[in-house]
Amino acid sequence: MKNIIFPKPLLKGAKIAIISPAGAVQKTAVEPTLKLIESNGYEAVFGKHTFEKYEHGYNYAGTEKERISDLNWALNAPEISAIWATRGGYGCMHLLEKLDLKEFKKNPKWYIGYSDNTVIHSYLLKKGFASINGQTLKTSSFGVSDESYSDIFKILKGKLPTYKTTENKFNKKGIADGEIVGGNFALIYALLGTKFSFNFKDKILFIEEIGENFYALDRMMMSLELAGVFKKIKGLIIGGMINMGDEKDNKNYENSFDEMAYQIISERVSKYSFPTLFGFPNGHIFENRPLIIGANIRLKVGKSNEIKYL
């Protein structure tokens, strides 16, 4: 297994590129987080098209050419120390075949985002670089906890958090060490069979989802089953499952871990022996604690549950 490269911790005054690789966003929607960047001692630098809007069956943050231009600038500009996506939505898959890491390889930097940004994490990992599956600059309608952002800044400063979670009736006990992969389930599913898909062998898989019908969730599970993914992984972590089924307009975070969604997942992996942790606070939910994609972790599931970076 090749060693995954972690970007260097950020120094005070470091510049963080703010880009929109997918959906359109207004600057007012990210201003609170921009203030957090400044209060942590960093400078936000915007791509040329960060706040563009291009309507083409969806409100994108610019054309494909404009969005890839911003992303490649952020990846390769020597003055940039990290990259933070404003939001997800849809559009990151458009960019995968046009990504340029020529200068990035000489000066790796953290890429931060989740949801649609899952495909960027997969791309970077295949090239040997870790990235942060964490809250975008734009918060959800039900808000985001302070810790969801503060944990990201800890990682940027070189500190790796350890997470402990409460018991869940769907958990399957066990201990596993492995590299964590994954993110939004729909994007993991969409990449299956492509050259950009995660490598699942001996990995610990993380999944989260929002707004899917239960049959669609089961279809995703069946797709991974038929692709042999569950025979390859060493552990499974399930995060937020929100607005699932008929719950399409949940404005709070009380139902962040939909029970029917969890039951469907639990049933589909019941024949496997790997440890399975339900209820991890990451996803389209109020508690969206960052996970480092590509990091080696120890997953403990039992009377106490823990995710620890190794």
For 224-249, the pLDDT digits (tens) are: 999 999 999 999 999 999 999 976 55
Residue 218 lies in a domain: yes
**Same domain (yes/no): 255, 216:** yes
**Same domain (yes/no): 241, 293:** yes
- Find the mean pLDDT for residues 26-52: 97
Higher pLDDT, 209 or 246: 209
**Same domain (yes/no): 147, 242:** no
Indicate the residue among 91, 125, 156 that finishes a domain.
156
Rg for the chain (alpha carbons), in Å?
18
Higher pLDDT, 253 or 205: 205
Place of tokens 């990210």: 30
Residue 184 phi, psi dihedral angles, 5° rounding: -70, 130
β-pairing, 291-293 with 131-133?
antiparallel
Q: What amino acid occupies position 219?
A: R
**Same domain (yes/no): 273, 251:** yes
CA distances in angstroms from 102 to 107, 128, 143, 160, 247, listed in the order given: 9, 13, 37, 28, 44
**Same domain (yes/no): 177, 239:** yes
Active-site residues, by number, are 115, 208, 284
**Same domain (yes/no): 20, 59:** yes
**Same domain (yes/no): 170, 305:** yes
**Same domain (yes/no): 124, 88:** yes
Residue 6 lies in a domain: no
Residue 1 has pLDDT above 70, yes or no: no
Residue 4 lies in a domain: no
**Same domain (yes/no): 27, 151:** yes
Read off the CATH number of the domain in which 251 is found: 3.50.30.60
Residue 244 in contact with residue 214, Cβ under 8 Å?
Answer: yes
**Same domain (yes/no): 169, 292:** yes
Residue 253 has pLDDT above 90, yes or no: no
State which H helix or E strand residue 306 sits in: strand 305-309
Indicate the residue among 135, 156, 177 that finishes a domain.
156
The boundaries of the domain holding residue 275 are: 163-309
Residue 286 lies in a domain: yes
**Same domain (yes/no): 110, 209:** no
Q: How many domains does the chain have?
A: 2
For 116-145, the pLDDT digits (tens) are: 999 999 999 999 999 999 999 998 877 899
Residue 251 has pLDDT above 60, yes or no: no
CA separation for the pair 51, 54 (Å, rounded):
10
Read off the CATH number of the domain in which 126 is found: 3.40.50.10740
- Find the mean pLDDT for residues 162-171: 96
Residue 58 phi, psi dihedral angles, 5° rounding: -165, 150
Does residue 70 sit in helix, strand or coil? helix
Residue 10 lies in a domain: no
Residue 3 lies in a domain: no
Count of Cβ atoms closer than 10 Å to residue 94 Cβ: 17
- Find the mean pLDDT for residues 100-113: 98
